[in-house]
Structure 1
Amino acid sequence: MLYEEKYVAFIDMLGFSELVRQSASDASRLDEISEAIDRLKNTACHNPSTGLLCTYFSDCIVISSNRTSAGLRDILHSIRAVAENLLVVDILIRGGLTVGSLHHDEQMMFGPAMICAYNMESNEACHPMVLVCGTVRTDAEAAGLSRELIWDDEDPERHYVHYLISYSTYDPTPRAGTLILDGQANLVRNFIARRLQAPPGRVREKAEWMERYWNETVGISGILGSVDRVTDLVKPNARPFRSRLAVLAPSPVIPSAGLSEE
C-alpha cells in the first residue's frame, strides 16, 4: 500500500449534526436529512480516469483526485456540485483543499494531505468556504482554472473555491439544456435572509459572510438579485432543482507526481 500525490478536499456539512440531533424529537427533520443524503448520493464524484473518488461519513465529505490538470478540474467541479446541491436545501459547507501524499480507496483513506485538509477546514476556513492552499492555487493558474477560485478583498491571500460561479455567470437567455436558476436563486436568498435573523454568534456570522459573498459575486450583476434582509424573508414559490452532476473529464490520464496536462 503506497501513497500517491493527490488533491484532497475535506468538507464539513455545517449544521448537519445538529439537524440529526433535532430529528430525535422532530420527525420532520428526517425528511431534510434524507433529502440532503440523497443529493450527495446523486452528485457525481467518481471518475477512474482522473482518480476522482468521494467518501461520505457522518457530516463530512472527502474528495480526492490525481495531481493532474484534469484531476484538478474534476475535484473543483465536484466541490462546486456538492455545494450547489446542498445550498438549495439550506445546508452550507466549509472545507480545505490541498495536495500531498494520500491513500484513498473504497475501504480507507489516510495520509499527511488528509490531515492538512482537515486542519485547514477546522482551523483556517472560519466561514462557509472551501479554502485552497497556495500550491493548489499555483496549480490552478498553470492549468487555466483560476476562474474556479475567488478571494476575499479583506484577505486577498486567502483563495477559496468559487462555488457560486454558476449563479454569478448566469445568462437568463433560454437555451436547450441550460438550467434555469431564477427560482433557485430565490431559495438561496431566502435561506440567507432567514439565517440573518439569528442572534449574534457563529450562525449569524456565517450568514453575514454568505450574504456578502452572494451580493458581491451574484447580486452585483442585477440578474439574480442581491439578498434583501426584509423581502427575502418571504418564502419563495420554488422547489430545489434535482441534484446536479459534476461535469467530469472524459479522457483517461496517467497519474503523475507533478501537475501535467491531460
Structure 2
Amino acid sequence: MDKQYTVRYVAFLDILGFKNIVTESVSAADKAAALISAIEEIADRHSLYQQFEPDDFQAQTFSDCIVMSEGASIGGLCHLLVAVAHASVSLLEDGIFVRGGFAKGLLYHSPKVVLGPALIKAYSMESSIARVPRVLIDAETHSDLSHGEFKKEADRWDLPPKISLANDGPPFIDFLNALRKLEVMNDAEATIAKMRTGIEDALARSIYEPAHYEKVRWLALYWNSVAAETGIKLVDLPLMKSAKL
C-alpha cells in the first residue's frame, strides 16, 4: 500500500459508557466474554461481508473506539454504510450503544495505521455534534447518496442502507431499519426482545444522571418511532411505567 492519503469514506464510532461497561465486566465473566466477542466481531468485518466485494475495507478497534473505512466508490460507500448499521445493531444486542461520525475525505488506513483529515472530521462529528447514540453523515457523503448508481448498488443488498434526518437536522444512519425487515434478522423475536430490554435497563440505570439519560431516552424514542411503523413492542419509558401503578 502506498504511504499517502487517498479519498476514502471513514466511520468513527465511540462506545458510550465504555468505562462502566469494562468495570462491570471485571466481576461478571459473561459480560466480559460478550464485550470481547462484540469488539472482535466488529474488528473482523472482512469475513462478515462477502456478499458483495468491498472497496479496500479496513477496520480497527482501540479502547472504546472503532474505525472503519473504504475507498471512495459507490460500492465502498454502500458497503461501509451497511457495515456501520450492522455494527450498531450487533452491539445493541449486547446492550452497547454507539455514537459516531461518517465522513468523506483524505485518509491513510492500513492494518497498522489510520490517520488523515477525514478521520479528524468524523471524530469531530462524533464528539461535538452527534450527542446521542447515532452515527451522523457529513454533507459530501449525503450528496453522494443522491447518485442513481448508489440506489442501484444499495438495492443489491437484502437490507439496503437507509439514511434519515433527525429532528434537530443532521442526517444519520437509520440502523434500526432492520426492524422494518425482520426476515433478514436471525431469531428476530428473541433478538428484538433482547435489544428492547437492553434499552429499558439502560433507561432505568440512568435516571439519576440526566446527561446520560438524555442519550438513552433519544434511543428509546427512536426505537418507538420505528416500532410504531412495524407493530413491534415499544420501549417502556420510566414515566410510562409509573403511570401504570
**How does the TM-score come out when normalised to structure 1?**
0.77
**In structure 2, which of residues 220, 233, 237 is the aligned counterpart of residue 225 of structure 1?**
233
CA RMSD of aligned residues (A): 2.4
Find out whether 1:163 has 2:170 as its counterpart.
no
- Opposite residue 194 of structure 1, the aligned amino acid is D
**In structure 2, which of residues 95, 103, 108 is the aligned counterpart of residue 98 of structure 1?**
103
- Opposite residue 221 of structure 1, the aligned amino acid is T
User: Is there any run of 5+ residues in structure 2 with no aligned partner, and where?
Assistant: 155-159
Q: 1:65 to 1:43 in 2, by over 3 A?
A: closer
Residue of structure 2 equivalent to 1:214: 223
- Opposite residue 235 of structure 2, the aligned amino acid is V
Query: What is the alpha-carbon distance in structure 1 between the residues aligned to residue 202 and residue 45 of structure 2?
Result: 26
Deviates more, 1:83-92 or 1:49-58: 49-58
Query: What is the alpha-carbon distance in structure 2 between the residues aligned to residue 139 and residue 119 of structure 1?
Result: 21
* Conserved? CA contact 2:9–2:69, under 8 Å: yes
Residue of structure 1 equivalent to 2:4: 2
Query: What is the alpha-carbon distance in structure 2 between the residues aligned to residue 112 and residue 135 of structure 1?
Result: 14
Q: 1:21 to 1:98 in 2, by over 3 A?
A: same
Query: What is the alpha-carbon distance in structure 2 between the residues aligned to residue 204 and residue 178 of structure 1?
Result: 28
* Conserved? CA contact 1:39–1:86, under 8 Å: no
* Conserved? CA contact 1:10–1:114, under 8 Å: yes
Query: What is the alpha-carbon distance in structure 2 between the residues aligned to residue 23 and residue 30 of structure 1?
Result: 4
Give SS of 1:204's match. Answer: helix
Query: What is the alpha-carbon distance in structure 2 between the residues aligned to residue 178 and residue 161 of structure 1?
Result: 18
1:85-139 Cα deviation digits (max 9, x unpaired) = 1110000110000000000011111111111111111111100000001111111
Give SS of 2:102's match. Answer: strand
Residue 19 (structure 1) shift: 1.9
Give SS of 2:90's match. Answer: helix
**In structure 2, which of residues 175, 186, 204 is the aligned counterpart of residue 179 of structure 1?**
186
Q: 1:84 to 1:43 in 2, by over 3 A?
A: farther
Query: What is the alpha-carbon distance in structure 1 between the residues aligned to residue 10 and residue 136 of structure 2?
Result: 12
Residue of structure 2 equivalent to 1:150: 164
Give SS of 2:236's match. Answer: coil
Residue 178 (structure 1) shift: 6.1
Q: 1:60 to 1:100 in 2, by over 3 A?
A: same
- Opposite residue 149 of structure 1, the aligned amino acid is I
Give SS of 1:63's match. Answer: strand
Residue of structure 2 equivalent to 1:117: 122
Residue 46 (structure 1) shift: 7.3
Residue 169 (structure 1) shift: 3.0
* Conserved? CA contact 1:219–1:227, under 8 Å: no
Structural mapping, 1:190-205, within 5 Å:
190-197=197-204, 198-199=206-207, 200-205=209-214
Q: 1:196 to 1:217 in 2, by over 3 A?
A: same
- Opposite residue 214 of structure 1, the aligned amino acid is W
Query: What is the alpha-carbon distance in structure 1 between the residues aligned to residue 80 and residue 196 of structure 2?
Result: 26
Find out whether 1:140 has 2:142 as its counterpart.
no
Q: 1:226 to 1:46 in 2, by over 3 A?
A: closer
Residue of structure 1 equivalent to 2:196: 189
Residue correspondences, number:
223
Higher helix share: 2
Q: 1:178 to 1:92 in 2, by over 3 A?
A: closer
1:55-80 Cα deviation digits (max 9, x unpaired) = 11111111111111100011001101
User: Is there any run of 5+ residues in structure 1 with no aligned partner, and where?
Assistant: 172-176, 234-262
